[in-house]
Chain A
Amino acid sequence: MGKENPAAEKASNLLRSRLCDPNFVVKHLSDSPDSNYSKLKFLVSSSVTEACNNSILLLGPRGSGKIAVLELILTDLLLEYPDTISVIKLNGLLHSDDCCAFKEIARQLCMEHQLLFSKMASFDDNSQFMIEMLRECGLAHKTIIFVLDEFDLFAQGKQRLLYSLLDAMQSVTSQAVVIGVSCRLDADQLLEKRVRSRFSHRKLLFLPPSKEDMQRLLEHILSLPVDSSLPHAYAVEFNKKIKNILADGRFKEIVNTLVNLDSTVNHLLRFLFLAVSYMDLESGFLSFENFKTALSNSHRQPKLECIKDCSILELYILVCLKRLEVKEQNSYNFNSVMKEYKSIHDSFQTSDYYSRNVCLRAFEHLLQRELICFTDNRGYSQSVEFRPVKLLISSIELHQGLKSYCSCPVILLKLVER
């Protein structure tokens, strides 16, 4: 590595921080009037101003920017109505347990209103406290916004949290908005009847950005600001090169393959991050090759890699298992593999015939690589040789893997092909 260009370093830092910050991307996508941003913002701000209760679900695949949009709206609203909003954030991964969730709500409410939070408070105390607070806030015309991330996880169990929240919102005195965020599109179907009847059934779907949006987004993310601490000439040059790359047909093809695999914004960002990390810091410009290597590196085939990692003996065992599978024996274990291995050796006189111990170790390596696994979880009393196993790769994968293996014995390929 030669001396590095300080401007390039700065530029790469800037791009990386942009790519790690979903808000930056969302801000760009949110200016159109029929975007989710404007819809949600209108809904929340109207319920704040009109002092009514509301509930809504934000649905969309993982990484489509639901939380980022919501965060953006909440920061905007907090600036607009600083005194009349308090936000309570819960996450299904952390607070799916009702007791834990009420405690967290109480803690955040106490923090918000400078009250003393008691760790020892019971479940009933906390839920009572929440309902009291809802009423008090309603009387003071303050809106409490509940954000429930991973909403589907709250729908496990007895749904007491959801019930008491939505039930409290039925009264005129309270003033609250419940926003559920989930990547399960059927999240509202998971609700119990008593909860569902209290829910508003408003849903907001997050769709992947259109092609034009994608193109604009790419340009927005990758071009450097001209009026900043970066050298002006460098930034202009950089932007020109990016524009050229973006207009390139080959680049569009890359973006197409990406979108075909997974069209969420997050997926695109990860890809761009890889590309930026490949940027040559000496010249300081992104090149088309960067994007190409990023594409090939972001889509790996772990099973094929695993087969490539195997030693020849391990391949033999895999092929034996495959043959046993083809023979439709109902279950097989190490002993039957050894029998098969011996029969292969007897009929073809291979040079790779090793003792049982060595094969057993190779077998254990395969277990560690998770190319094979035990069919039962309980048989701990049995030793490894006797526990039935199954193959975790398909015959096509095995065949492909053997073909790409650089010094694979010919006999193995023959055995698989038959």
Chain B
Amino acid sequence: MGFENKRTKFAVLAALFVLAAVLPLFLDNYTLNVLWNAMFYMLLALGLNIIVGYTGLCDLGYAAKFAIGAYTTGILIKTFGWNFWLTLPVSALVSALAACVIGAPTLKLRSDYLAIVTLGFAEIVRISARNLDITGSASGINAIERPYFFGIHLTKISHWYYVFFALVIVFIIISKRIRYSRFGRALAFIREDEDAAQAMGVNTTLFKLYAYIAGAVLGGITGSFYAVKMTSISPGSFDFTQSANILLAVILGGMGKIPGVIVGAAFFAIFPELFRDVPFVGNMRMLFFGLLLIVVMINRPQGLWPEKPVKR
């Protein structure tokens, strides 16, 4: 699927952009919500992609990063009456700090140990959210006020469609900028051969920590927007299934490659919807999904649309 010709690539992207921009004019709210959900997964998948796809770290607790952002925003708006837009930098900062605290001591561990530490940390975050008063315990934080954007009160689903559409574009640009920077090349080097990267003078632990923080900040920001779009957040939205979903979206689509990640996330959000209303099969959709995962992994272990391998 290489776009050899730059012009074709530009035309395809422009067509996609226009199509996505005019879609809300023709679709009903339910479909728009499904699309919004797909874009929401794209944001999370793009954030996780920096950790998993670019750097090759296995993170099984990405829901925690997004929970931290969502709760930071939720608490600041509900308890302290902040304006939503002002909570964004705080949310990013808190996410970065949390990533630092958990990442700094653990990123030098074996890669599968990191997987389990991230999972444990995610459970700690979720259980704390369920038990603490400030996070609203099991019922979570409700009736979070929706923000204004240049005088427009963002209440309709079509508003949120455009907000998340814009965010997806911003996240893609950030991802691209990271991928082709010195930092991104160092990450790819770490992913391909960590020992060699270290031998060439890349400070692997530090770069892994940076990647981890970058992924966490993107997750936190997504969480903040999620909190105001949904207007209520509860610990149930941030369980392991959520982390697994995001990870599956990244890996299914093709690790490291942005179009692959986007397709993976869209597939992930839309596939179960297609089967929701089919009687009998509706209950079995996760079963089929599991089977599909196995089949895809066996036939295309690098994902549906992977990054081109580095030539050796």
Interaction A to B: no
The chain A residues found within 8 Å of chain B, CB to CB, are none
- Residues of B in contact with A (beta carbons under 8 Å apart): none
